[in-house]
Amino acid sequence: MLLNNRYQVLKTLGSGGFGETFLAEDTQMPSHRCCVIKQLKPIQNNPQIYQLVQERFQREAAILEDLGGSSDQIPTLYAYFQLDSQFYLVQEWIEGDTLTSKLKEQGLFSEGAVRDILVNLLPVLEYVHSRQIVHRDIKPDNIILRHRDRKPVLIDFGAVRESMGTVLNSHGSPTSSIVIGTPGYMPSEQAAGRPVYSSDLYSLGVTAIYLLTGRQPQELETDPRTGEIIWHNHVMDVSPTLKSVIDQAIQYHPRDRFASAKEMLDALQGGVSPIPPTVPFLTQPPTSSPPPPTINLDTPPNHKSNSRNSILMASAIAGGFIGASVIIGLTLTKSSQPSLDKPLVTSQIPQTSKPQVAEENKASLSPSGSSINKIPQPQKESNPTTVPSSFYFLADSAYSNSQTAAKQVQALQTAGYPQAGMFWIPEYPNLSGQELFEVYVAKFSDRNSCINLLKTYGQDNSQAYCAFASQDANTSADRLYFKDISTPSTPSVATTTVKDYAWLSERLVTDSDLDAKDGFELDIMRNSIFARHGRRFDTPGLQKYFDSQPWYRPRYSPKEFPANLLSEIERQNVEYIAKYQDRYRRRHFKK
């Protein structure tokens, strides 16, 4: 079937009361790119209603175009058209897995994975709400984990479907005769046709519960007095912080939930927002059902133009815990990538969000936000409430004064690294005895994520390195320089040089990676996958080996190790290496 003399339908993705969804090929593009086509039809068929639906459809399509062009976590709207009294949206095809299919494939999500999804989606929701839009159908089926960067993408906004339900009421005024949402995932006020911004937070909270428990909302009990979902008894090893955040998000009454997505993100991150959002935050989000006032925001950065920034965000969100006495957290407009080997000076840096740090540690900005007038010197006594005990960071450079360091931070942010910042090295005595300001590209809670970005970033700055920072002066800094590792395309060099098998979490292993290695090294390769997730070992030789690795942080005994911590690639590699070892032993026995 060829739609609009252009789109070749490949298959039907789904169908329902509003129409059908197709996967199609754009025959008028050189790449014949794939796209998703949503066919929508009004529930009533008369000329007056059709004109109203047409007006609403065009308005909602324009909104979708704006949203998709402002965030890479919302599909781009390519086109829309009408054909045979039906309406069509042509949108970007997101290659990935819905959260529903991912859970069925790999089992329950870990707390870290759920946190990553929330931290990555809440800034997107904040931006959507700033445009006075409520998504209205957030659920596991409408969140896709994109294959290329594992970022969650929000699909299927409810406003266009609602426009298809336009009817005339008894007074002859247009209204919608349908409620958009999914039973179990939408709160009571939305079911009554009065959604507010916190309705989306409720749906996101219920989605998180599904990922942690594997149970649909209808399968969970509710408190007969309050109507709240009872779910704690279905999970293990979930921190009080995450439980508390989810509990507040799913409160029965909107006034008891978070006032905004930003507030929920702050609570999830302990009151500090270390990861600049992909789009601007609302400073004073509306909390009630009346239409919110118009809020003027700076144009959000276009994140579709810089693939390196996408990689950075995916890596940093995977585990970023920022805490330092000086934090630069500005969301910036993007420019082309300059050379980063030396300090750069930029200007016209718009301030789109307020850094969530102590007042005395904020950088003073001019009213226009175009330059830094003053950066306070850090206090020599670290504040345990704002400085984490340890983290990994990708180092860019170090400077003797904060002003020069701040200029480099701005240059990095403008170049497409919004997580860039700086801290005072004496805060972490295991790094250096010098009183320098360390400029970093991003911070991470695990070594592997830092190394992943180092492989790309080091091509611009060959002096870059990943380091483990700790407030414990006796802890090894565990530095790894770009020159010590290979590019992602040749991980075997890295394993030969530093015996870093982190790449086993990134790509599938082959025989060429295993040939010429003895049995013990094969054991090390296979078990390094478990070790990086904190497993202990019964074999003394293995345990002794991993105890000597600075990145090793044992947490689980062999019997208590949660299998669902392993990714699909890691599980396949474990099985492949084990089978290879069997073949190796058989060959060795024959000899």
Catalytic residue among 137, 266, 446, 500: 137
Closest C-alpha among 141, 158, 155 to residue 60: 158
* Annotated catalytic residue 97: no
Residue whose C-alpha is closest to residue 84's, from 43, 44, 24, 40: 40
Q: How far apart are CA 331 and CA 126, in angstroms?
A: 14
The rounded Cα 265 to chain-centroid distance in angstroms is 12
Contact status, residue 298 vs residue 277, Cβ threshold 8 Å: no
- Beta-bridged to residue 26, according to DSSP, are 7
Q: Which residue has the tokens 């025959």?
A: 27
Structure tokens at 304: 């579709």
Contact between 208 and 140 (Cβ < 8 Å) = no
At 532 the three-state DSSP class reads coil
* Residue for token pair 């690639």: 569
449 backbone dihedrals φ, ψ, rounded to 5°:
-65, -40
Task: Transcribe 167-202 into DSSP letters.
Answer: EE-TTS-EEE----S-TTTS-HHHHTT---HHHHHH
CA distance 159 to 56: 9
Task: Tell the burial category of 567 from Cβ atoms under 10 Å away from its Cβ (0-12, 13-18, 19+).
Answer: middle
Annotated binding residue at 342?
no
* CA–CA distance, 315 with 308 (Å, rounded to integer): 11
Residue-by-residue DSSP string for 239-280: -HHHHHHHHHHT-SSGGGS-SSHHHHHHHHTTT---S--SSP
- The DSSP result for 286-331, as a single string, is --SSSPPPP---PPPP-TTS-HHHHHHHHHHHTT-----SS-----
Among the listed residues 244, 221, 180, 257, the one whose alpha carbon sits nearest the alpha carbon of residue 16: 180
Which residues are annotated as part of the binding site for ATP?
38
Catalytic annotation, residues: 137
Which residues are annotated as part of the binding site?
38
